[in-house]
């Protein structure tokens, strides 16, 4: 099934799925935003970054801890703490139960630092990137490894507060029936502001229109030069002065109204492209293929995901089991299987807006390089 634009796809969702809603078009639009987030999250999982991911954590601006911004996905230096088995009779697996594990006793987790989340509920709803507790400069996350008929297993890691990369998803463009899209340009500017303020590597517009970069060292001196060359040097470096407050910023954008493409940029796209280190454009064709194989002509491995999606959008509150934060366990398994077997196709859904001429493989290499740095030594 093909669609001339995301607008047409949204109309189909409005008619076939969200007909019950008071504002069915808006409900379909929100679901499209959720699907973009889901695609991004399961791509990160497929790239082996799940145990580094935190979801919607507040991130302070560089050099200004008084102002923080929630980001959709942040990737943090991760240290494995423990793996534990549990009986299915022990469900739900709550943060409190995890924190009481004897293997975590030396952390002396206080009751007021513990979260009220459940990694896995009685109804088999999984919490992605489940935070157990906050410990100041670090926080503890739990991840489900597997669940069998009688037993399951989860892993616990400690994540450093400061991430090495962030991912944010934006739908930009103009809504149907409007000549301008003030709400989306403001959202683009908000995303651009965050992208330009969280990292120690600062962007500077040069007189010839190119982008320069500058980063300050502890002695007050500055390293400066072409932004992307300097960024590559920092990522490849082992220098704690350059790495300790550097954050790679990645934006994932999708169309909202068929009035721009990855080659023909509108204002929002231009604002975001000059702000994020990497800007990925999730194509209309990519979104359409995913929705078609998820909902309208479901691929065999996505049947459970379709059921979770449809059961989440019935007009009843409190039943959503298809978000980046909470998802049914069967839908999670289905999506992991789908992304693993279709990864080459899925990566083809992303066009690189910035840096110009770069391939997705370069971004994956940069993330792997940052992931494997000796962050304990860098932050010591």
The pLDDT of residue 122 is above 90: yes
The model's pLDDT over 148-182, given as tens digits with 9 standing for 90+, comes to: 999 999 999 999 999 999 999 987 654 444 444 44
Q: Residue 186: its pLDDT value, please?
A: 77
Considering 145, 160, 175, which residue would you say is the last residue of a domain?
160
Alpha-carbon gap, residue 154 to 94, rounded angstroms: 12
Q: Residue 180: its pLDDT value, please?
A: 44
Query: Highest mean pLDDT: which of 3-7, 73-77, 104-108?
Result: 73-77
The model's pLDDT over 110-120, given as tens digits with 9 standing for 90+, comes to: 988 999 999 99
Could you tell me if 124 and 269 lie in one domain?
A: no
Q: What is the dihedral of CA 311, 316, 318, 320, to 10 degrees?
A: 30
Could you tell me if 28 and 169 lie in one domain?
A: yes
Overall number of domains in the chain: 2
Q: Residue 355: its pLDDT value, please?
A: 94
Could you tell me if 254 and 372 lie in one domain?
A: yes
Alpha-carbon gap, residue 289 to 349, rounded angstroms: 9
Note whether residue 270 is domain-resident.
yes
Could you tell me if 174 and 31 lie in one domain?
A: yes
Query: Highest mean pLDDT: which of 2-16, 225-239, 292-306?
Result: 225-239
In this prediction, residue 263 has a pLDDT band, given cuts at 50, 70 and 90, of low
Could you tell me if 83 and 154 lie in one domain?
A: yes
Note whether residue 43 is domain-resident.
yes
Q: Specify whether the CB–CB gap between 202 and 210 falls below 8 A.
A: no
Note whether residue 360 is domain-resident.
yes
Could you tell me if 169 and 47 lie in one domain?
A: yes
In this prediction, residue 379 has a pLDDT band, given cuts at 50, 70 and 90, of confident
Could you tell me if 86 and 136 lie in one domain?
A: yes
Range of the domain at 121: 77-160
Count the residues in the chain.
Answer: 380
Question: What token pair was written down for 333?
Answer: 């398994």
Alpha-carbon gap, residue 16 to 31, rounded angstroms: 13
The model's pLDDT over 328-354, given as tens digits with 9 standing for 90+, comes to: 999 999 999 999 999 999 999 999 999
The strand pair at 278-282 and 248-255 is best described as: parallel
């Amino acid at each position: 099934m093909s669609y001339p634009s995301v607008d047409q796809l949204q109309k189909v969702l409005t008619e076939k799925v969200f007909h019950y809603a008071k504002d069915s078009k808006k409900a379909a639009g929100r679901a499209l935003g959720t699907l973009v987030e889901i695609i991004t999250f399961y791509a990160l999982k497929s790239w082996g970054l799940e145990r580094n991911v935190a979801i919607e954590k507040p991130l302070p601006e560089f050099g200004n801890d008084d102002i923080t911004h929630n980001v959709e996905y942040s990737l943090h230096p991760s240290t494995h703490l423990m793996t534990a088995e549990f009986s299915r009779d022990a469900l739900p697996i709550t943060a409190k139960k995890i924190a009481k594990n004897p293997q975590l006793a030396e952390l002396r987790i206080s009751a007021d630092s513990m979260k009220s989340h459940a990694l896995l509920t009685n109804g088999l709803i999984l919490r992605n990137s489940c935070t157990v507790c906050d410990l100041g400069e670090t926080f503890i996350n739990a991840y489900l490894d597997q669940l069998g008929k009688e037993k399951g297993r989860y892993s616990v890691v400690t994540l450093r507060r400061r991430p090495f990369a962030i991912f944010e998803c934006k739908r930009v463009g103009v809504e149907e029936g409007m000549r301008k899209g003030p709400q989306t340009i403001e959202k683009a500017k908000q995303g651009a502001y965050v992208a330009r303020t969280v990292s120690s590597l600062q962007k500077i517009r040069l007189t010839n229109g190119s982008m320069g970069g500058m980063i300050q060292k502890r002695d007050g001196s500055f390293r400066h030069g072409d932004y992307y060359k300097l960024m590559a040097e920092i990522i490849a470096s082992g220098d704690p002065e350059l790495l300790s407050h550097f954050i790679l910023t990645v934006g994932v954008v999708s169309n909202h109204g068929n009035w721009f493409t990855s080659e023909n940029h509108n204002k929002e796209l231009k604002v975001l492209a000059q702000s994020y280190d990497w800007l990925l454009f999730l194509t209309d064709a990519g979104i359409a293929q995913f929705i078609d194989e998820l909902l309208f002509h479901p691929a065999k491995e996505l049947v459970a995901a379709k059921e979770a999606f449809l059961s989440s959008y019935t007009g009843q509150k409190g039943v959503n089991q298809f978000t980046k934060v909470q998802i049914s366990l069967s839908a999670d398994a289905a999506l992991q299987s789908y992304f693993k077997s279709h990864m080459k196709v899925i990566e083809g859904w992303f066009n690189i807006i910035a840096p110009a001429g770069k391939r997705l493989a370069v971004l994956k290499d940069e993330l792997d390089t940052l992931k494997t740095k000796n962050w304990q030594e860098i932050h010591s």
